[in-house]
Amino acid sequence: MGRRRNARLLTPEGAKMFHDRTDAARQLAERIEASALKNPLVLGIPRGGVVVGAVLAESLGAELDVVLVRKLRAPFEPELAIGALGEDGDVFLTDFARDVTGFSDAYLAEELARQAAEIARRRHAFRMVRPRAVATGRSVILADDGIATGATMLAALHVLKMQKPVELIVAVPVAPPDTLALVARHCDQVVCLLEPAWMAAIGAFYADFEQVEDAEVLRLLGASLPMAKAPAADERR
């Protein structure tokens, strides 16, 4: 599909802390022009991204689904992402992954196995409620509750590009500018409300950042709009 070299960054000045994920998602929805979307599909990155995605899907009249990507954790520092694993087995590593203390090929193999098992568990649970949506020929909005290193988002974008959507839009409430610039090179548009120059944790920008459980993801998937039909062959040209 045709892509601009650099995606547009929509990042208004003066954005404040969000009350919760729903509040952030409602603000994001106001920044996306629904009429310009083609058979829109919103994909949330579990688990917090599904809460954001559900609000976006309802506001935009879009189908909701999940994209199953897991963060690869750094040795001794599990909150630090050194890469990500996609549902189809695609692996993305950050530039600094091999420089992290404790990193080895053996550690990477073990971490990949752990995260592959979690993806398989989630696939079994989530796909029983909603079969994997078709992204080909559609406007795809990839949503999360924030971006830190960008490893998970980049892995998701890599997986989705192979499905040939008509456009890829990343929608997140908060992310640092250097990470946004990196993500923007791999999609058509980035919609972000807050670009802090420094951020230690995504949750620091929310008054309420309660952990989202699988049960909530299943509820949101089950309550969303019925699955849209895949575009006909002549619509994908």
Which residues neighbour 24 within 8 Å (Cβ) at sequence distance 6 or greater? 18, 52, 145, 173, 174, 193, 206
Report the topology of domain 8-68+133-235. Rossmann fold (3.40.50)
pLDDT for 23-43, tens place per residue?
999 999 999 988 899 999 999
DSSP string, 89-141: S-EEE-TTGGGSTT--HHHHHHHHHHHHHHHHHHHHHHHHHSPPPP-TTSEEE
Within 10 angstroms of residue 124's Cβ, the number of other Cβ atoms is 9
pLDDT of amino acid 37? 95
d(CA 115, CA 48): 17
| C-alpha pair distances (Å), 128 with each of 77, 123, 156, 233 | 33, 8, 21, 27
CA angle at 179 for the pair 82 and 154, rounded to the nearest 5°: 55
Contact 217, 53 (CB under 8 A): no
| % residues pLDDT > 90 (the chain) | 65
The amino acid at residue 131 is: P
Question: Cα separations (Å) of 167 from 14, 161, 170?
Answer: 28, 9, 10
Instruction: Name residue, tokens 């929805």.
Output: 29
Give φ, ψ of 29 to 5 degrees.
-60, -35
- Note the pLDDT tens digit of each residue in 182-213: 999 999 999 999 999 888 789 989 999 999 99
Q: What is the pLDDT of residue 199?
A: 82
From residue 8, give the alpha-carbon distance in Å to each of 18, 82, 97, 116, 187. Answer: 23, 26, 28, 33, 9
Q: What is the pLDDT of residues 118-164, one digit of tens each?
A: 999 999 999 888 889 999 999 999 999 999 888 889 889 988 988 89
The pLDDT score that the predictor gives to residue 16 is 66
Q: Quick check: 105 pLDDT over 60?
A: yes
Task: Give the least confident one: 70-84, 97-111, 203-217.
Answer: 70-84
* The residue count for the chain: 237
Residues 137, 233: Cα–Cα separation, whole Å:
9
Average pLDDT, the chain: 87
**What's residue 15's pLDDT?**
45
Residue 5 scores a pLDDT above 90: no
Question: What DSSP assignment string belongs to 145-179?
Answer: S--SS-HHHHHHHHHHHTT--SEEEEEEEE--HHH
Q: Give pTM, 2 decimals.
A: 0.82
